C-alpha cells in the first residue's frame, strides 16, 4: 500500500512538472508573437510583406507566428532580426505575465509538499527546497 501511495505521488509530481512546462511554452509563444507583431507594426510592414521576405508561400504561414500557433524557426528569427534591425534575443525574449508567474509558484509549492511526503528527512527536504529555489530563480530570470 505504501508503494502505491509513493507511486501516486510521483505521478502527481510529474504531472505538475508537465503543467509547468506547458505554462512556460505558452508564455514563450505568446511573448514571441507579441514581439513579432510589435516590431512589424513599428516598421510599418504588412504580414504579406514579411511572409514574402521570409520566402513563405502566403501570409498565413507568418500570421501563425504572430498568433502564437507556430514555433518561430531560428532561420526566420535571424532574418526578421536583421530586417527589424534588432538582436534576435529581443525578438525571442520572455517576460512572463504575473498570472503565469503566480501559477508556477503555486505548482512549485505543491511540489515541495509532495517531496516532503516522499522522503521527510530534513537533509533531503533542504536539497529539494534548494532545487526548487533554483528553478524559481531561473523562471524569474526568464532563462527557461
Tens of pLDDT, residue by residue over 10-28, are 777 777 777 777 777 887 8
Tens of pLDDT, residue by residue over 54-97, are 999 988 999 999 999 988 899 999 999 999 999 998 888 766 55
Residues 6+ apart with CB under 8 A from 24: 96, 100, 104, 139, 144
Distance CA 13, CA 5 (A): 12
Q: Is the pLDDT of residue 42 over 70?
A: yes
Domain boundaries of the chain, sorted by first residue: 2-140
Locate all alpha helices (DSSP H) within the chain, ordered by sequence: 2-43, 47-54, 59-66, 74-84, 88-92, 98-118, 122-140
Say what percent of the chain tops pLDDT 90: 31
Architecture of domain 2-140: Orthogonal Bundle (1.10)
| pLDDT at residue number 62 | 94
Nearest of 83, 5, 94 to residue 50 by alpha carbon: 83
Q: Is the pLDDT of residue 46 over 70?
A: yes
Nearest of 142, 34, 39 to residue 95 by alpha carbon: 142
Q: How far is CA 63 from CA 5, 14, 57, 60, 66, in A?
A: 47, 34, 12, 5, 5
Mean pLDDT value across residues 40-45: 96
Q: Is 0.75 surpassed by the pTM of this model?
A: no
Distance CA 78, CA 22 (A): 25
The residue length of the chain stands at 144
Q: How far is CA 36 from CA 26, 30, 110, 120, in A?
A: 15, 10, 35, 47
pLDDT interval class at 35 (50, 70, 90)? very high
Amino acid at each position: 500500500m505504501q508503494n502505491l501511495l509513493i507511486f501516486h505521488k510521483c505521478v502527481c509530481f510529474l504531472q505538475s512538472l508537465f503543467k509547468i512546462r506547458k505554462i512556460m511554452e505558452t508564455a514563450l509563444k505568446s511573448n514571441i508573437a507579441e514581439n513579432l507583431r510589435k516590431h512589424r507594426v513599428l516598421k510599418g510592414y504588412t504580414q504579406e510583406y514579411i511572409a514574402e521576405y521570409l520566402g513563405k508561400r502566403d501570409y498565413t504561414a507568418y500570421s501563425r507566428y504572430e498568433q502564437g500557433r507556430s514555433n518561430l524557426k531560428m532561420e526566420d528569427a535571424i532574418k526578421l532580426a536583421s530586417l527589424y534591425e534588432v538582436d534576435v534575443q529581443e525578438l525571442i525574449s520572455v517576460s512572463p505575465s504575473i498570472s503565469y508567474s503566480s501559477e508556477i509558484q503555486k505548482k512549485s509549492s505543491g511540489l515541495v509538499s509532495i517531496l516532503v511526503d516522499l522522503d521527510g528527512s530534513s537533509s533531503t527536504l533542504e536539497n529539494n527546497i534548494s532545487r526548487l529555489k533554483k528553478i524559481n530563480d531561473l523562471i524569474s530570470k526568464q532563462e527557461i
